[in-house]
């Protein structure tokens, strides 16, 4: 078998196809990269690793610089990860997959493929989310659910720690400052919590008896049809925080939630978690997450 001619024909056919069938060029790109990757993998078994460099010299001379050694290695790596179980989705571009190739975990790759499919994120946004270790900050239980394709719940995609942008570049902040950091980029904060979260208000007033209390941030999740109470703390988690947020959640359930909505959940975002406190929390709708300030 003449591997070089097969590879060259695949690349030329793809270039022609893209010019004629521009609307489906992603599909053509991915199919070509997979086929070329397979040919390169097979050729390497027969002629050794150096064959990629030899082919790249010829292809660069005959077809252009875009088929250099690095490009061919990416195509081979693309074929390898697909064979190992990575999802091949025509909703992604080749540029998306180039960003995913350095990842060693197939489950992590499939997570980002699903995110791209559902949220239509750009290559730049994907790069940012990988850099922020989004997958690694998910709980192990959530990762297992994704692997087993089990049904997920509203809290499963809340990252830990939650990254909060800090424009002042200081570690000493108050709860008001923490809240302000979040409010300055609400879309970013909502993505840290997961899918379907919508902002309702900050310092949301509720009247208990003859006194007003104020919920730091009140959200709503349109996927799970529930209100979300967020309380911000710049200290280690304390037991009194549990009682506070549970009171607020009970108020929402009694006075605002309708019958066709699910029970309110509460998220305490704190400087440091306390597993001993959380071990005695009976309300399964209360969750804690640490925050981490980033520039």
pLDDT tens digits, residue range 249-266? 999 999 999 999 999 999
Instruction: Give the pLDDT mean for 103-113.
Output: 97
Instruction: Give the pLDDT mean for 148-170.
Output: 93
Domain boundary among 100, 131, 162: 131
Tell me: do 126 and 10 sit in the same domain. yes
Residue 18 confidence (pLDDT) above 80: no
Strand order in the sheet with 286-294: 162-165, 286-294, 265-270, 226-232, 211-221, 197-208
Residue 143 lies in a domain: no
The region of weakest confidence among 17-21, 41-45, 192-196, 219-223 is: 17-21
Residue 71 confidence (pLDDT) above 70: yes
Residue 167 lies in a domain: yes
- φ and ψ at residue 178, rounded to 5 degrees: -60, -45
Tell me: do 195 and 243 sit in the same domain. yes
Tell me: do 157 and 65 sit in the same domain. no
Tell me: do 122 and 53 sit in the same domain. yes
Which CATH number characterizes residue 272's domain?
3.40.1350.10
Reported pTM: 0.89
Domain boundary among 131, 165, 198: 131
Instruction: Give the pLDDT mean for 214-235.
Output: 98
Q: What is the pLDDT of residue 69?
A: 97
Residue 41 lies in a domain: yes
Residue 136 lies in a domain: no
Residue 78 confidence (pLDDT) above 70: yes
Residue 65 lies in a domain: yes
Q: What is the pLDDT of residue 171?
A: 79
Q: What distance lies between CA 130 and its chain's CA centroid?
A: 7
Cα–Cα nearest to 203, from 236, 173, 180? 180
Cα–Cα nearest to 150, from 159, 158, 141? 141
Domain count, the chain: 2
Tokens of 64: 């252009």
Tell me: do 207 and 289 sit in the same domain. yes
Helices and strands of the chain, counted as H and E runs: 12, 6
Tell me: do 187 and 242 sit in the same domain. yes
Tell me: do 189 and 122 sit in the same domain. no
Residue 119 lies in a domain: yes
Residue 145 lies in a domain: no
Tell me: do 107 and 155 sit in the same domain. no
* Range of the structural domain that residue 277 is part of: 151-294
Residue 23 confidence (pLDDT) above 70: no
18 by DSSP, 3-state: which? helix
Domain boundary among 131, 161, 196: 131
Tell me: do 155 and 278 sit in the same domain. yes
Tell me: do 74 and 117 sit in the same domain. yes
Tell me: do 166 and 84 sit in the same domain. no
Confidence of residue 21 (pLDDT cuts 50, 70, 90): low
Mean pLDDT (the chain) is 95
Tell me: do 109 and 214 sit in the same domain. no
Residue 141 lies in a domain: no
């Amino acid at each position: 078998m003449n591997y070089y001619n097969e590879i060259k024909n695949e690349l030329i056919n793809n270039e022609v196809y893209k010019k004629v069938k521009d609307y489906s060029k992603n599909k053509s790109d991915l199919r070509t990269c997979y086929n070329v990757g397979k040919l390169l993998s097979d050729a390497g078994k027969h002629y050794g690793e150096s064959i990629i460099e030899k082919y790249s010299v010829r292809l660069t001379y005959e077809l252009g610089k875009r088929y250099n050694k690095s490009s061919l290695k990416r195509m081979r790596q693309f074929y390898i990860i697909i064979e190992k179980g990575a999802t091949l989705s025509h909703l992604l571009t080749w540029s998306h997959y180039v960003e995913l190739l350095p990842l060693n975990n197939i489950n992590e790759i499939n997570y980002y493929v699903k995110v791209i499919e559902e949220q239509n994120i750009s290559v730049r946004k994907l790069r940012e989310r990988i850099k922020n270790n989004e997958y690694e900050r998910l709980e192990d239980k959530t990762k297992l659910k994704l692997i087993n394709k089990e049904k997920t719940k509203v809290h499963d995609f809340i990252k830990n720690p939650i990254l909060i942008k800090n424009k002042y570049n200081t570690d000493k902040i108050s709860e008001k400052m923490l809240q302000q950091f979040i409010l300055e980029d609400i879309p970013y904060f909502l993505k840290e919590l997961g899918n379907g979260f919508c902002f309702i208000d900050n310092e949301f007033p509720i009247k208990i008896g003859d006194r007003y209390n104020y919920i730091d941030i009140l959200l709503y999740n349109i996927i799970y049809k529930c209100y979300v109470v967020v309380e911000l703390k710049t200290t280690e988690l304390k037991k009194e925080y549990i009682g506070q947020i549970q009171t607020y959640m009970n108020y929402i359930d009694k006075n605002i939630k309708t019958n066709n909505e699910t029970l309110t959940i509460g998220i305490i975002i704190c400087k440091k978690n306390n597993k001993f406190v959380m071990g005695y929390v009976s309300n399964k709708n209360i969750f804690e997450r640490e925050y981490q300030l980033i520039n």
